[in-house]
Amino acid sequence: MECGLLFSGGKDSGLAALLLDSFYDVTLVTAHFGLTDDWEHAAEAADSLGFPFEAVEMDDDVAESAAEQMREDGYPRRGIQQVHEAALEAVAAEYDVVADGTRRDDRVPTVSRAVAQSLEDRHGVDYVAPLSGFGRNAVDRLVETHLRVESGPSEAVPKGDYETELRSLLRTRWGDDAVEEVFPDHEQTRVVGRNAE
Residues that bind a copy of itself (CB under 8 A): 1, 18-19, 22-23, 97, 102, 104-105, 113, 116-117, 120, 126-135, 137-138, 141-142, 145-146
Residue whose CB is less far from a copy of itself, 47 or 140: 140
Judge contact between 71 and 178, C-beta under 8 A: yes
Residue whose CB is less far from a copy of itself, 114 or 187: 114
Q: Give Cα separations from 166 to 18, 68, 71, 162 (angstroms).
A: 28, 10, 11, 6
Residue whose CB is less far from a copy of itself, 117 or 172: 117
Residue type, 55: A
Instruction: Name the minimum Å distance from CB 83 to a copy of itself.
Output: 20
C-alpha dihedral sign at 189, 63, 108, 18: negative
Instruction: Name the minimum Å distance from CB 196 to a copy of itself.
Output: 14
Q: DSSP letter for 24, please.
A: S
Residue whose CB is less far from a copy of itself, 64 or 105: 105
Instruction: Name the minimum Å distance from CB 23 to a copy of itself.
Output: 6
Instruction: Name the minimum Å distance from CB 157 to a copy of itself.
Output: 25
Judge contact between 17 and 26, C-beta under 8 A: yes
Instruction: Name the minimum Å distance from CB 102 to a copy of itself.
Output: 8
Residues 6+ apart with CB under 8 A from 113: none
Judge contact between 192 and 149, C-beta under 8 A: yes
Residues, the chain, total?
197
Residue among 86, 37, 77, 79 at smallest CA distance from 59: 86
Residue whose CB is less far from a copy of itself, 171 or 194: 194
Residue whose CB is less far from a copy of itself, 28 or 111: 111
Instruction: Name the minimum Å distance from CB 48 to a copy of itself.
Output: 19
